[in-house]
Chains A and B, each alone.
Chain A
């Protein structure tokens, strides 16, 4: 049983290593674009409508929760909003804008149409995209919890990181799966509780001398604690 858990955890670690930097870069790009609308205008004036494709392409995979609609994409046989996964949405946008060559379209279109027919139309918030984002974020957070919890606990006794990881997981639930303010606040409460417990464990580890402040683990504990706390605040304020 333990072997199986560790095997899953190893996969999660690999997933974390791959997804983490990509997600971060995309998230930062997204935040900058949102914060500076002028930058988007400048890019639009240089690249024209292609910027919409780029915008969707960049934001869709990582910015799952904040996926930005692309109003200027013309309506064609393939509807972007019916695509189950963000990467497919991006691909449809490429086709719609004529970026993909006719030969390529002939190959790709039937595949996409088949995929589209397999998945139900979202209709509401509970769409495949939402589930996809929740699942991918779950694994991402699980990776954090694994690296933070299992490794740190094993080598340094820094159980604070485990709790911090759970805090991030809970805040993810609050952000992606909460349909009303009550559920949102409940998950946020869990997130804050775990975060505070994690920081408490971090302090105890320091007092007991199990954790060196100059080690990256201490770094990570502190950072994860902060992220758990602030994620909670962001969830409530969104």
Chain B
């Protein structure tokens, strides 16, 4: 929470966070594309290619979520330090739950655990979104009050 501090929104913090997202985002995209290529390879009639494609798909997907966790953790920390934004930590928690859901799917192979983690992640996502909107409105209100 901002605790009513009159800290002005710094474009530096935003720019710094964007730099992290863009830099790691390219890796996430590469991992995602590799994962998709692996999925396409599973259509092959050659068993070896299909099996190899499945492995690429699994690890590619895992890569997407591990990198996603890194991005959200890094950005959450920056936003927390600057604005005390709870929403970003909730987003991080969502990604963490999704990562565990992927692990539960492919490593533990537990459908129940997978569903529980996935749906918990979605729930956290919507809570985070609501908190984000509330934080944004409060910040705007504070800025407007300072302006008058």
Q: How far is the CB of B13 from chain A (nearest CB, A)?
A: 9
Q: Which of A188, A195, A212 contacts B32 (CB 8 A)?
A: A195
* 10 cross-chain CB contacts under 8 A: A21-B126, A24-B126, A27-B119, A196-B33, A214-B85, A226-B94, A227-B125, A230-B102, A233-B102, A236-B57
Q: Is the CB of A219 within 8 A of B119?
A: no
Spell out B's residues near A (CB within 8 Å).
Answer: 9, 14, 17-18, 21-22, 25-26, 28-29, 32-33, 35-36, 39-40, 42-43, 57, 61, 64-65, 68, 72, 75, 79, 83, 85, 87, 91, 94-95, 98, 101-102, 105-106, 109, 111-116, 118-123, 125-126, 128-129, 132-133, 136
Q: Is the CB of A219 within 8 A of B123?
A: no
Q: Which of A34, A200, A233 contacts B115 (CB 8 A)?
A: A34
Q: How large is the interface on A (under 10, 10 to 19, 20 to 34, 35 or more residues)?
A: 35 or more
Q: Is the CB of B122 within 8 A of A24?
A: yes
Residues on B with C-beta less than 8 A from A207 are: 18, 22
Q: How far is the CB of B140 from chain A (nearest CB, A)?
A: 11
In angstroms, Cα B102 to Cα A196, docked, is: 17
Against B, the Cβ 8 Å flags (1 = close, 0 = not) of A184-217 are 0100110011011001101100110000111110
Contact A27/B122 with A34-B112, A185-B43, A213-B14 known, Cβ cut-off 8 Å: yes
How many residue pairs, one in A and one in B, have C-beta atoms under 8 Å apart?
136
Spell out A's residues near B (CB within 8 Å).
Answer: 20-21, 24, 27-28, 30-32, 34-35, 66, 182, 185, 188-189, 192-193, 195-196, 199-200, 202-203, 206-207, 212-216, 219-220, 222-223, 226-227, 229-230, 232-234, 236-238
Q: Is the CB of B118 within 8 A of A193?
A: no
Q: Is the CB of B95 within 8 A of A216?
A: no
Further contacts, 13 of them, CB under 8 A, given A223-B128, A229-B61, A234-B101: A27-B119, A35-B115, A185-B42, A192-B36, A196-B32, A199-B32, A200-B29, A207-B22, A213-B75, A216-B133, A223-B94, A230-B101, A234-B114
In angstroms, Cα B122 to Cα A46, docked, is: 30
In angstroms, Cα B30 to Cα A200, docked, is: 10
Contact A214/B61 with A31-B115, A188-B39 known, Cβ cut-off 8 Å: no
In angstroms, Cα B57 to Cα A10, docked, is: 37
Q: How far is the CB of A130 from chain B (nearest CB, A)?
A: 19
Q: Is the CB of B79 within 8 A of A214?
A: yes
Residues on A with C-beta less than 8 A from B40 are: 189
Q: Is the interface of A mostly helix, strand, loop or mixed?
A: helix
Residues on B with C-beta less than 8 A from A213 are: 14, 17-18, 21, 75
Q: How far is the CB of B128 from chain A (nearest CB, A)?
A: 7
Q: How far is the CB of A138 from chain B (nearest CB, A)?
A: 18
Q: Is the CB of B112 within 8 A of A206?
A: no
Q: Is the CB of B119 within 8 A of A216?
A: no
Contact A28/B123 with A206-B22, A216-B136, A226-B98 known, Cβ cut-off 8 Å: yes
Considering only CB atoms, which chain B residue lies closest to A209 in the complex? B18
